[in-house]
Amino acid sequence: MDVDPSKILVRYNVAKEKAQTPEEMAAEMYPSAEPANTICAAIFDGEEDDVIEGLEKAIEGGADPVALIDDVLMVGMKIVTDLYDQGVIFLPNVMMSADAMLEGIEFCKEQGGAAPKPKGKVVCHVAEGDVHDIGKSIVAALLRAAGYEVVDLGRDVPVDEVIAAVKKESPMMLTGTALMTTTMYAFKEVNDRLLESGIKIPFQCGGGAVNQDFVTQYELGIYGEEAADAPKMADAILSGKGLAQLKEQFHKH
């Protein structure tokens, strides 16, 4: 027994696929001038050695190492994240590109002895009692790729530690991820303790069992359905949006 699948299902990913390959689309977005073109291509390919080689040549040619971070590395990474947002490339491409870009940034910092100011600071953590941290790792990588400084508290983070870190780092946003229904309950406590301390920053919450209904139960909570929402939320905060506007934008259900 067999069947003609076209009568019973549609593979919309195939049907909606763009004619151009991701590589072709990326190539059209690279700056035309060198060394930016070559370095951006190396970032897209996730080739760390090629990124460093391109940076070395640029610095030998008189480029300012610190300026290369904003003018070349971040430009190359933005091409990658834009293509990811458009659904053209996959998350592993972003992760490998981010690895290459971050290595490039470290190299430029060593060469130039300074670093450009990040767009903002975000504290990330996994809820107390929860050790499932791949979601948090993705969130942190995407934030770094978008130019934010990330203070990664790790997994199974006690509420006291989250509060202390927020007080110390004064971030623009806090993120929390959890896989389990019982561990995500810690988010409410984090929310209450922040409010008790007079801190009213957006607290982006997401992960396995977390849903919008739960997150809307506490004042600072903004539901992040996708890891990719994290840099978008940070950008929205930078653009001046407050808690109510963030909820309007990100609470999709």
Partner 1 sequence: MVKRYTSLAYKAADDMIFGKSVYPVKAELGLEVGAGYVTGEVNYAPRPEAGVSKEKLVSEYRRLTTDIMARAVQVGFPGIVLETEHVEQMTNNPDWGGEVAHVQKTIMEEYHEEYGIKTALRHTPGDVRENRDLLALIGDKYDVTMESFEAVAEAGADFLSIETMGGKEILDYAILRNDIPGLVYAIGCLGSIDMTMIWSDIRKIADKTGRIAAGDTDCSQANTAMFIAGGLLDKNLAHTIAIIARAISAPRTLAGYEAGAQGPGKDCGYENTIVKAITGCPISQEGKTSTCAHSDVMGNLVMQCCDLWSNESVEYHGEFGGTSVQCWSESLNYDAAMLNVATETGNAKMLRDILVLSDKYRDPQGYVLAYDNAYKVAESIAKDGDNLYLRAKNAAITCCDILNGAEKLTMSKFELGALADAKAALDAMTDEEDTFMSESMEKYKAEVPVFRPEDNYKF
SS3 223: strand
Amino acid at 189: E
Per CB under 8 A, 244 contacts partner 1: no
Please tell me the count of residues contacting partner 1 according to CB under 8 A: 43
CA pair distance 191, 203, nearest whole angstrom: 8
Give the nearer residue to partner 1 in terms of CB position, either 197 or 217. 217
From the CB of 35, what's the least distance to partner 1, in Å? 26
Position among 170, 181, 197, 245 found at the interface with partner 1 (CB under 8 A): 181
From the CB of 238, what's the least distance to partner 1, in Å? 25
Per CB under 8 A, 32 contacts partner 1: no
Per CB under 8 A, 196 contacts partner 1: no
Per CB under 8 A, 14 contacts partner 1: yes
Which of 235, 233, 240, 196 lies closest to 218 in space, CA to CA? 196
Contact 97, 241 (CB under 8 A): no
From the CB of 83, what's the least distance to partner 1, in Å? 9
Contact map string, positions 97 to 136, toward partner 1, x by CB under 8 A: --x-----------------------------x-x-xx--
From the CB of 187, what's the least distance to partner 1, in Å? 9
SS3 194: helix
Contact 139, 175 (CB under 8 A): yes
CA pair distance 56, 108, nearest whole angstrom: 9
Contact 172, 238 (CB under 8 A): yes
From the CB of 199, what's the least distance to partner 1, in Å? 23
Position among 38, 175, 183, 204 found at the interface with partner 1 (CB under 8 A): 183
CA distances from 69 to 30, 84, 112 (A): 15, 21, 10
Give the nearer residue to partner 1 in terms of CB position, either 1 or 33. 1
Give the nearer residue to partner 1 in terms of CB position, either 63 or 133. 133
Per CB under 8 A, 212 contacts partner 1: no
Strands (E) in the chain, as ranges, are 121-126, 149-152, 173-177, 203-206, 221-223
Q: Is the dihedral of CA 186, 191, 196, 199 positive or negative?
A: positive
From the CB of 63, what's the least distance to partner 1, in Å? 29
Position among 25, 27, 66, 95 found at the interface with partner 1 (CB under 8 A): 95
CB burial of 53-89 (b: ≥16 within 10 Å; e: otherwise) equals ebbeebbeeebebbebbeebbbbbbbbbbebbeeebb
Which residues bind to partner 1, rule: CB under 8 A? 1-5, 8-9, 11-14, 16-17, 21-22, 84, 87-92, 95-96, 99, 129, 131, 133-134, 137-138, 141, 154-156, 180-185, 209, 214
